[in-house]
Amino acid sequence: MTKQIIITEVALRDGSHAVAHQYTAEQVTRVVRGLDAARVPYIEVSHGDGLGGSSLQYGLSGTNEMELIEAAVAACRNSKIAVLLLPGIGTVKELKEAAALGVKMARIGTHVTEADVSAQHIAKAKELGLETVGFLMMSHMAPVEKLVEQAKLMESYGADAVYMFDSAGALLPHQVKERVHALRQSLQVDIGFHGHNNLSLAMANTLAAIEEGAVRIDGSIRCLGAGAGNTQTEVLTAVLDQLGCQTGIDLYQIMDVAEEIVAPLLQVPQEITRDSLVLGYAGVYSSFQLHARRAAKQFGIDARDILIELGKRKVVGGQEDMIIDVAAELARSRAVVL
């Protein structure tokens, strides 16, 4: 399996969910310096829900994300800084501000059936001279044909690559293979994959994606990401080296960064808990985990019941307000029964 794989490190964005969006500029600087020394190609930095995500609905940032981005850019010598933007949360204003700070890549994400809302933001990112990537999130929620249709829209808007996101960590390897194969057959641009580990399949799914032609892969060092985290960057680097794939990442250095710099940032060990397992089982957005825990505590019910009900209602990213609504409904229904 000799090929070049381009890795984007997402712990300073996706991992923001795991630390309740409380990264400091000092922490970001330390992590980026380590990743840069390890020659990780791209490092994503922003609020967990992307540019403009700091809010009561999505979680307030401890430090303004533009300060974090500025610190990250200043710490780079080899790596390039990327940002995530979800139309409806982030705006062109934040995109311009990030570009002015020295960001080199914009990653524009939408729900898997809503690629059309990305046209303006992809076009603006290209106009700003940024490498531009389209994301189709919660890709398990659409049939293969719809996924391909939406990916072709992003390609037509000018995206340099299109990713399928297993945002809930719900897909099985054969499902990933089917989807990536169809994308590779239908698109001219690079295909990417972003996995979550809620069913302990992030690595297996990532390798399945690579086998079918994905060349851009997201990883989170020390598995620091929403839910049970993402494909673990340092482990992925070792596995790809064993397979003969080229990443350009220094294996020893990335292992040291994981152990000595990132591990101390984890508030709790990044593992598959009851809640994160339910995320994958129910097919619910991985960033819902902390919100569900808080709602469960507030209403005195089981977080798993909230997540399962959210899955039944097919709630997606951007509908975090529904978590409280569902928790309140479940609490009321149980009070009536009692």
Residues 60-97 as b or e (16 or more Cβ within 10 Å = b): ebbbebbebbbbbbebbeebbbbbbbbbebbbbebbeb
Closest CA to 132 of 150, 120, 149: 120
3-state secondary structure at position 123: helix
What is the Cα–Cα distance from 46 to 108, expressed in whole angstroms?
13
Binding residues for Mn(2+): 14, 194, 196
Alpha carbon 188 to chain centroid, angstroms: 23
Binding residues: 13-14, 167, 194, 196, 285
Q: Which residues contact 301 (CB under 8 A, 6 or more apart)?
A: 327, 330, 331, 334
CA end-to-end distance (rounded Å), the chain:
59
By annotation, the residues acting in catalysis are: 17
Helices 303-312, 321-337: axis angle to 10 degrees equals 110
Binding residues for substrate: 13-14, 167, 194, 285
Q: How deeply is 154 buried, as exposed, middle or buried, from its count of CB atoms within 10 A (0-12, 13-18, 19+)?
A: buried
Measured in degrees and rounded to the nearest 5, phi and psi for residue 169 equal 60, 40
What is the Cα–Cα distance from 306 to 54, expressed in whole angstroms?
23
Query: Look-up: residue for tokens 């980026």?
Result: 32
Q: Which residues contact 159 (CB under 8 A, 6 or more apart)?
A: 108, 122, 132, 133, 134, 189
Per the CB < 8 A criterion, the answer to whether 162 and 134 are in contact is: yes
- Provide the token pair at 250: 């220094």
- Provide the token pair at 183: 């994308």
